[in-house]
Chain A
Amino acid sequence: MNDRPFDNRAWLLVLPVLAIVLFSALLPLMTVVNYSVQDSFGNNQFFWNGIGWYRELLDPSTDLGSRFFGALWRSLLFSAIILAIEVPLGIAVALCMPRDGWRLAATLVLMALPLLVPWNVVGTIWQVFARGDIGLFGHVVNALGIDYNYTAGILSAWFTIVIMDVWHWTSLVALLCYAGLRAIPDAFYQAARIDGASRLAVFRWIELPKLRRVLVIAVLLRFMDSFMIYTEPFVVTGGGPGNATTMLSIDLVKLALGQFDLGKAAAMSIVFNLIILAVCWVFYTVMTALDAEKQAEGPAKGAE
């Protein structure tokens, strides 16, 4: 049936990859798993703790649990706010972008600029920009009579990190949507004009449905990125005031490197990891479902 040469020694060719993955991913992960079931009082002495850390972590009535859930909700809230602003704003910007000529080139360059700025630089820019004494933004806002101080006010701090993220990443969503919009054949717009559709109807029935796949990707990217955000709030607010802007990743680093609570931190990172895996799985399922839909109507699409 199969007359191709068959040689089990070919498996040896996989060895280098296995070795690299083992060394760079599996062993560190196992170390974390190892830590998560032990306790240590330093001196490299470890004690078996079973699932104790996990029990504590997932029980909101304990110190560790309340801390973990507080950070988790803050991270989720942050992601939700970011998505609620960046996705509609990105679509709106994409709709307003010029369709060709030098204006398009200028717009693309301008929009790509924030994407090129490293995270900690964005943080530093806003740390200075938003200061009440020497920062232009903070000074103007204060001069308008609004009490704004991101080191002291919870609302101010949240406002700052949110606007910073919107400034940094909305253009990514906009560029993705723009690409999606450009892929819509002219015939759809012509048909809509013939059918007497309003601008709103064109958006609702043509543009939005055609953008769906692009939007799934945009939401995935922005969710992942904002859910594990670390650098910007760390630079600007340091997680404060209090721990009002301490996101999951910041808390994790505090726990692991600040307090050197290896067991607790390891358990927390395993749970963090599982949450991200679950979200990935949801997105993967949605994407493959969309792909299957596309496949099903593949031949029908033809020259559309």
Chain B
Amino acid sequence: MARITLDGIAHAYRPNPRSDADYALKPLHLTWERGLAYALLGPSGCGKTTLLNILSGLLRPSHGRLLFDGVDVTDWPTERRNIAQVFQFPVIYDTMTVRENLAFPLRNRGVAPAAAARRVTEIAELLGLSPMLDRRARGLTPDAKQKISLGRGLVRSDVAALLLDEPLTVIDPNLKWELRSRLKAAHRALDRLMVYVTHDQTEALTFADRVVVMQDGRMLQIGTPAELFERPEHVFVGHFIGSPGMNFLPAAVTGDRAVVAGFEIPLGAAYGPLPAGVPVQLGIRPDFTALGAGPGGLPVTLERVDDLGRLRLARVRLGPHPLVARLPDGVDPATAALYLDSRRLHVYADGKRVPPPGELRQEAAA
């Protein structure tokens, strides 16, 4: 299996969808490549799990086709698709031992007992389940149970894709890191396509090669963590990724100048005419702003300073518009002015990023 293609996949849970709002998942065109780890990131109810269940065949999409390596599998049952999926809450067969649990997917598919046993030992080793292999699965801790669920997902080495639906929700925070790195190791060892659903940006950004940001059943952007950070294609992506999120300021843009609350701000590039009649915003990450003394800064009023330990953030107002800026050591926030890195400024019209002329058409790299 090399590639999974979503060709206009959309889904509505109601039988006769009328409006856009009836769709849990709006038409989606995507291609996913083998060997990469993808994260589906978005708030609860944005359609992540729906998409995952469509991939595994637990749900039949109301529109569109799903292709595995060019073969239409939309109507194939789950069993035939050869996909592994791990759910948010641990599902274990509690009358079996841990070993039997791990071997179950192999046994059902008629894998030779010797090969299955070898594989189970490997996976148990990887997940740290070896000491409890012969215990009954009932009565184990939630952590251990979820490890078993993960193990059942990882145990088949020939799967087309491994789908993980917020698998670390029930895991203790200090164990999460450990388990996530074990998962990453497993992914590298397996060289499979992996799809990881989460609403936790740190989890998505540290785990995945490509992150798909979703909202309200729509895909807003797909890209590497760096791309999402540096060039959010949508206001929502800017807000959702990064902590704190991106600053957005209503602006009027003409050529390479923007005017915010009466102040002129130079832009990194000259923009052509923007669509009329839609709100235009200027976006910049707090990381590319700083308060400082000196000429050429924008006058701001200080609201408060948040000391995060490793850095300090100043909440200020530029005219009526609030924003968050970095506060370097030794700067007096009360008298300082705001400096923006003009190369890191993005222009958004109607919530979508306007690419500056001459920018290479950014492909959803993959």
Binding site for B on A (CB under 8 A): 187-188, 190-191, 193-198, 201, 205-206, 209, 293, 296-297, 299-300, 302-304
The distance from the CB of B254 to the nearest CB of chain A, in whole angstroms, is 54
- Of A187, A188, A190, A196, the most chain B CB neighbours within 10 A belong to A196
> Contact at A190–B105, with CB atoms within 8 Å?
no
Instruction: For A209, list chain B residues within 8 Å (CB).
Output: 93-95
- B58's nearest neighbour on chain A, judged by CB, is A190
> Contact at B58–A193, with CB atoms within 8 Å?
yes
> Contact at B108–A297, with CB atoms within 8 Å?
no
The distance from the CB of B90 to the nearest CB of chain A, in whole angstroms, is 7
Q: How far is A297 from B140 in the complex, measured between Cα atoms in Å?
A: 7
Quick one: which of B57, B90, B108, B145 contacts A195, CB cutoff 8 A? B108
Quick one: which of A198, A296, A299 contacts B108, CB cutoff 8 A? A198
Q: Which 8 A-B pairs have the closest CB atoms?
A: A191-B91, A196-B108, A195-B105, A193-B78, A209-B95, A205-B93, A194-B85, A297-B139
- B81's nearest neighbour on chain A, judged by CB, is A194
Q: Can you give 16 contacting A-B residue pairs, CB < 8 Å?
A: A190-B53, A190-B85, A191-B91, A194-B78, A194-B83, A194-B153, A195-B104, A196-B79, A197-B104, A198-B108, A205-B104, A206-B93, A209-B93, A300-B140, A300-B145, A302-B170
Binding site for A on B (CB under 8 A): 53, 56-58, 77-79, 83-85, 87, 89-91, 93-96, 104-105, 108-109, 138-142, 145, 149, 152-153, 170
Q: With A209-B94, A293-B138, A297-B139 known to touch, is A197 a contact of B108 (CB < 8 Å)?
A: yes
Q: How far is A188 from B90 in the complex, measured between Cα atoms in Å?
A: 9
Q: How far is A297 from B90 in the complex, measured between Cα atoms in Å?
A: 13
> Contact at B89–A304, with CB atoms within 8 Å?
yes
> Contact at B87–A187, with CB atoms within 8 Å?
yes
The distance from the CB of B152 to the nearest CB of chain A, in whole angstroms, is 6
Instruction: For B83, list chain A residues within 8 Å (CB).
Output: 194
The distance from the CB of B142 to the nearest CB of chain A, in whole angstroms, is 5
Q: How far is A300 from B170 in the complex, measured between Cα atoms in Å?
A: 10
The count of A-to-B residue pairs whose CB atoms sit within 8 angstroms is 68
Instruction: For B108, list chain A residues within 8 Å (CB).
Output: 195-198, 201
- B153's nearest neighbour on chain A, judged by CB, is A194
Instruction: For B95, list chain A residues within 8 Å (CB).
Output: 205, 209
> Contact at A196–B91, with CB atoms within 8 Å?
no
- A210's nearest neighbour on chain B, judged by CB, is B94
The distance from the CB of B76 to the nearest CB of chain A, in whole angstroms, is 12
Instruction: For B84, list chain A residues within 8 Å (CB).
Output: 194
Quick one: which of B56, B105, B140, B142 contacts A302, CB cutoff 8 A? B142
Q: How far is A191 from B104 in the complex, measured between Cα atoms in Å?
A: 11
- B141's nearest neighbour on chain A, judged by CB, is A300
- B110's nearest neighbour on chain A, judged by CB, is A196
- Of B94, B149, B152, B153, the most chain A CB neighbours within 10 A belong to B94
Q: How far is A195 from B102 in the complex, measured between Cα atoms in Å?
A: 10
Instruction: For A296, list chain B residues within 8 Å (CB).
Output: 139
Instruction: For A187, list chain B residues within 8 Å (CB).
Output: 87, 89, 91
Q: How far is A299 from B141 in the complex, measured between Cα atoms in Å?
A: 8
- A212's nearest neighbour on chain B, judged by CB, is B95
The distance from the CB of B15 to the nearest CB of chain A, in whole angstroms, is 14
Instruction: For B104, list chain A residues within 8 Å (CB).
Output: 195, 197, 205
